[in-house]
């Protein structure tokens, strides 16, 4: 373990160490000559085979796109709370939502190139919040309810495919990052090479310090909800049971997304911690607004029944 704070800060500041550890795609275990003090000796065997990071302008563009999508989701939820469904609202929901047909492919492309977007706003840091933003948008804002059944099914199936791909793309970036973070803070440098470390325990993919994954139960709950929305729209029989299962999956998805937000605020690596906290806090605001909107809808329905 790195116990000297000054040494830890010095190691963290070294750009070559940063790139080697956080972009390593394979850690090689080799025989050790000191089984007592160094029972497991690792070194980075390969990193991402790319020419380097994209320029900072790409990071800024991705950040601006994500911010615009977040604001579109926020405005859409607020408009629904106030009962506003005008042309402006429809345009925002159609073209700017994170789960919409315009923003979603661009966000998906950014996540696919996540290991190269690593300058000002690294995908390894803000990528989890981008995926959660897509999940929240898909659950809270069903933008294709006015479409015909076949077109509605096609749109939702495209969204499902995009969410699954986004989860895989995100994991391809954050798993090496989390593995390198574990190797950096839970090991001692052996001095044999720039990435050679001694460990007391086996180094696993994704590390053991952070357990968040894009390809997780949260993703499958969101996907399951979208699948059941398609079934409810196309099916004419046994809708009662399907709606009940859909509601259960949807509520569970919201709980898991909220849990992931809180977990990432509390357990993320120290790098760009302020950006992570701001992103997760913004997502938590969307979750709270959605819960408030649902509560208001239930109260209005209850009041209406009482009147009758």
DSSP string, 194-258: TT-EEESS---TT-SS----SSSHHHHHHHHHHHHHHHHHH--S-HHHHHHHHHHHHHHHHHHHH
Span 242-248, average pLDDT: 86
Q: How sure is the predictor about 146, in pLDDT bands with cuts at 50, 70 and 90?
A: low
Helix segments in the chain, DSSP class H: 5-13, 15-22, 56-81, 87-95, 103-112, 123-140, 149-185, 217-234, 239-267, 273-307
Vertex 243, ends 237 and 249: CA angle to 5°? 140
pLDDT score for 160: 94
C-beta pairs of 16-20 under 8 Å, 24+ apart in sequence: 16/194, 17/184, 17/194, 17/195, 19/47, 20/44, 20/47, 20/180, 20/194, 20/195
Contact criterion met (CB below 8 Å) for 115 and 48: yes
- In the chain, where are the structural domains located? 5-267+275-307
Q: How sure is the predictor about 25, in pLDDT bands with cuts at 50, 70 and 90?
A: confident
pLDDT score for 130: 94
Q: Percent of the chain scored above 90 by pLDDT?
A: 31
Could you read off the pLDDT of 169-213 as tens digits, one per residue?
999 999 999 999 998 888 888 878 888 889 888 988 888 889 899
3-state class (DSSP) for residue 103: helix
What the block records as the tokens of 254 is 């919201």
Query: Which range, of 32-41, 234-243, 248-257, averages the lowest pLDDT?
Result: 234-243
Q: Percent of the chain scored above 70 by pLDDT?
A: 88
**pTM across the whole model:** 0.87
225: pLDDT strictly greater than 90:
yes
264: pLDDT strictly greater than 50:
yes
**Higher per-residue confidence, 21 vs 88:** 21
């Amino acid at each position: 373990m790195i116990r000297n704070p000054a040494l830890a800060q010095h190691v963290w500041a070294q750009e070559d160490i940063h790139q080697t550890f956080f972009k390593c795609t394979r850690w090689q275990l080799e025989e050790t000559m000191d089984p007592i003090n160094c029972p497991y000796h690792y070194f980075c065997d390969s990193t991402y085979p790319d020419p380097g990071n994209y320029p900072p302008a790409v990071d800024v563009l991705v950040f601006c796109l994500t911010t615009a999508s977040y604001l579109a989701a926020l405005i859409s939820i607020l408009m629904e709370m106030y009962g506003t469904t005008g042309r402006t609202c429809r345009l925002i929901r159609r073209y700017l939502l994170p789960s919409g047909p315009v923003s979603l492919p661009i966000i998906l492309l950014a996540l696919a190139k996540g290991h190269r977007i690593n300058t000002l706003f690294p995908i390894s840091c803000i990528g989890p919040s981008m995926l959660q933003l897509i999940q929240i948008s898909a659950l809270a804002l069903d933008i294709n309810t006015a479409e015909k059944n076949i077109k509605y099914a096609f749109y939702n199936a495209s969204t499902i495919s995009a969410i699954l791909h986004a989860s895989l793309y995100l994991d391809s970036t954050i798993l090496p990052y989390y593995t390198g973070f574990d190797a950096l803070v839970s090991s001692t440098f052996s001095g044999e090479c720039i990435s050679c470390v001694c460990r007391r325990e086996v180094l696993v993919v994704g590390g053991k310090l952070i357990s968040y994954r894009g390809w997780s139960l949260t993703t499958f709950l969101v996907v399951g909800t979208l699948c059941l929305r398609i079934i409810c729209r196309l099916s004419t029989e046994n809708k009662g049971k399907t709606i009940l299962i859909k509601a259960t999956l949807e509520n569970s998805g919201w709980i898991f997304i909220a849990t992931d937000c809180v977990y990432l605020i509390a357990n993320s690596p120290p790098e760009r911690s302020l950006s992570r906290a701001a992103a997760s806090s913004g997502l938590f605001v969307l979750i709270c607004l959605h819960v408030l909107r649902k509560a208001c809808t239930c109260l209005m329905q209850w009041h209406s029944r009482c009147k009758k």
